């Protein structure tokens, strides 16, 4: 089987010899089952584990789910024939009632097993399961493939060039480690923009990345949203008003990157304030949207309540608004690029946006070792421009670095001791 490389695999491998249960959470169809198969291959080929000591089960199989649920002790004992270590790879674990309680029981009884579980919704794994497994659980999140993984699958040479600059940008954001910007002609920009266009249009769900035609990609996106509604929303979360729920998702897709007014949203989808709050929580916990909150230190002049909504996967969002045009010719290209930048940086630090009551606004405030404002520009620029909003933030917060994300321009300038980096979006 041809696997799309996943960065998370190596992160999990670092903890494979520890005793704690590993939980891999993430959206439906983000590749969790495949990741378990990749882990199985690693255990067999790299750690020389006997295949009969690696047990893969899925709780989508009702018979297996029933047997485990009724008597988890005997279920596990059936597979153990010696004192060597056993690896239990449990897929779709959220379908098991009282999962945390049962996992704690077998964790405490069987010292020679390693349990790795996956779940499509973080609601069950976070709330019910985690309280029983304090000190016994290590959690990881597997999102749709990121741009680096996409490039590794499409073109490894280009991926290597991307990674060289991407690591420098991340090191700047996380550790405030400066680097010298590219000063010669960037001959790879157009190649990377071509790949980025495809990635943003159709998103990073593995099956969709592998699909050969646009027609097939769109069909799979349709199937993905329908499966999400049928399984996670109706069956698992027991929400019956699917029309209202779908109306809400569609409304949010049109508001991507905008400030969200809950009262207006409730009126638009024929709901009420508290229900919208609850449904937004569900959409966030089931990996459809991301909410980012306003950055505020000045309690008088800055906004403190309004959130912005972005989508975990831009392809899914594009399906909901039925727009798969190239980003160059779209009215919403700016917010799509913002969405891309947010998704790429989300796992590395806290991200907010900044907006004052006078409507000065900076797209993102990244909080790593220090605060770094990030402005996103998709229009073509040829010099070191600076907006009044970014200048205002620099003046008020004395940040050491700022970043302006550009379409294809490298540059650098210093204002009030703040070093502003102009970096092409394709390296994020």
Burial class (CB in 10 A: 0-12, 13-18, 19+), 76: buried
**pLDDT tens readout for residues 269-323:** 999 999 999 999 999 989 999 999 999 876 566 666 789 999 999 999 999 999 9
How far apart are alpha carbons 16 and 1 in whole angstroms? Answer: 23
**pLDDT tens readout for residues 128-140:** 677 888 889 999 9
pLDDT at 128: 64
**pLDDT tens readout for residues 41-56:** 999 999 999 999 999 9
* Number of residues assigned to the chain: 428
How far apart are alpha carbons 375 and 330 in whole angstroms? Answer: 19
Domain layout of the chain by residue ranges: 7-141, 147-427
Do the beta carbons of residue 62 and residue 97 sit within 8 Å?
A: no
pLDDT at 131: 80
How far apart are alpha carbons 81 and 72 in whole angstroms? Answer: 16
- Cβ atoms within 10 Å, residue 50: 11
* Architecture of the domain spanning 7-141: 3-Layer(aba) Sandwich (3.40)
Whether the pLDDT of residue 1 is over 80: the answer is no
pLDDT at 358: 87
Q: H/E element holding 86?
A: strand 86-91
Do the beta carbons of residue 100 and residue 130 sit within 8 Å?
A: yes
How far apart are alpha carbons 340 and 334 in whole angstroms? Answer: 10
Map 101-159 to HEC letters: HHHHHHHHHCCCEEEEEEECCHHHHHHHHHHHCCCCEEEEECCCCCHHHHHHHHCHHHH
How far apart are alpha carbons 29 and 43 in whole angstroms? Answer: 23
């Amino acid at each position: 089987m041809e696997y799309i490389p996943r960065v998370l695999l190596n992160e999990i491998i670092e903890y494979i010899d520890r005793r704690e249960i590993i939980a891999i959470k993430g959206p439906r169809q983000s590749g969790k089952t495949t990741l378990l198969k990749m882990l199985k291959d690693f255990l067999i080929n790299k750690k020389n584990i006997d295949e009969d000591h690696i047990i893969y089960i899925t709780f989508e199989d009702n018979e297996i789910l029933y047997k485990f649920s009724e008597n988890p002790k005997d279920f596990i004992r059936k597979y153990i024939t010696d004192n060597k270590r056993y690896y239990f790879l449990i897929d779709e674990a959220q379908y098991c009632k009282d999962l945390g309680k049962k996992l704690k029981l077998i964790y405490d009884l069987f010292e020679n097993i390693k349990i790795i579980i996956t779940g499509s919704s973080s609601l069950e794994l976070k709330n019910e399961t985690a309280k029983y497994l304090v000190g016994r659980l290590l959690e990881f999140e597997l999102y749709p493939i990121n741009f680096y993984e996409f490039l590794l699958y499409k073109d490894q040479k280009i991926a290597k060039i991307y990674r060289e600059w991407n690591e420098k940008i991340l090191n700047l954001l996380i550790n405030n480690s400066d680097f010298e910007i590219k000063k010669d002609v960037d001959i790879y920009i157009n190649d990377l923009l071509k790949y980025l266009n495809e990635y943003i249009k159709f998103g990073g769900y593995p099956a969709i990345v592998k699909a050969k035609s646009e027609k097939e990609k769109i069909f799979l996106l349709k199937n993905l949203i329908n499966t999400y509604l049928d399984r996670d929303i109706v069956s698992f979360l027991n929400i019956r008003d699917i029309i209202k729920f779908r109306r809400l998702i569609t409304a949010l897709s049109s508001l991507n990157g905008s400030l969200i007014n809950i009262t207006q949203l409730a009126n638009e989808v024929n709901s009420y304030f508290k229900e919208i709050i609850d449904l937004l929580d569900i959409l966030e916990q089931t990996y459809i949207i991301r909410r980012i909150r306003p950055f505020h230190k000045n309690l008088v002049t800055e906004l403190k309540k309004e959130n912005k909504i972005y989508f975990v996967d831009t392809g899914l969002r594009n399906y909901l608004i039925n727009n798969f045009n190239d980003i160059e010719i779209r009215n919403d290209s700016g917010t799509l690029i913002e969405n891309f930048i947010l998704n790429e940086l989300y796992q590395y630090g806290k991200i907010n946006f900044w907006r004052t009551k006078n409507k000065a606004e900076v797209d993102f405030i990244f909080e790593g070792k220090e605060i770094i404002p990030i402005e996103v520009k998709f229009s073509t620029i040829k010099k070191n421009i600076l907006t009044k909003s970014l200048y205002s933030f620099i003046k008020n917060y004395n940040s050491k670095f700022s970043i302006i994300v550009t379409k294809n321009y490298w540059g650098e300038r210093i204002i009030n001791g703040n070093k502003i980096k102009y970096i092409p979006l394709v390296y994020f």
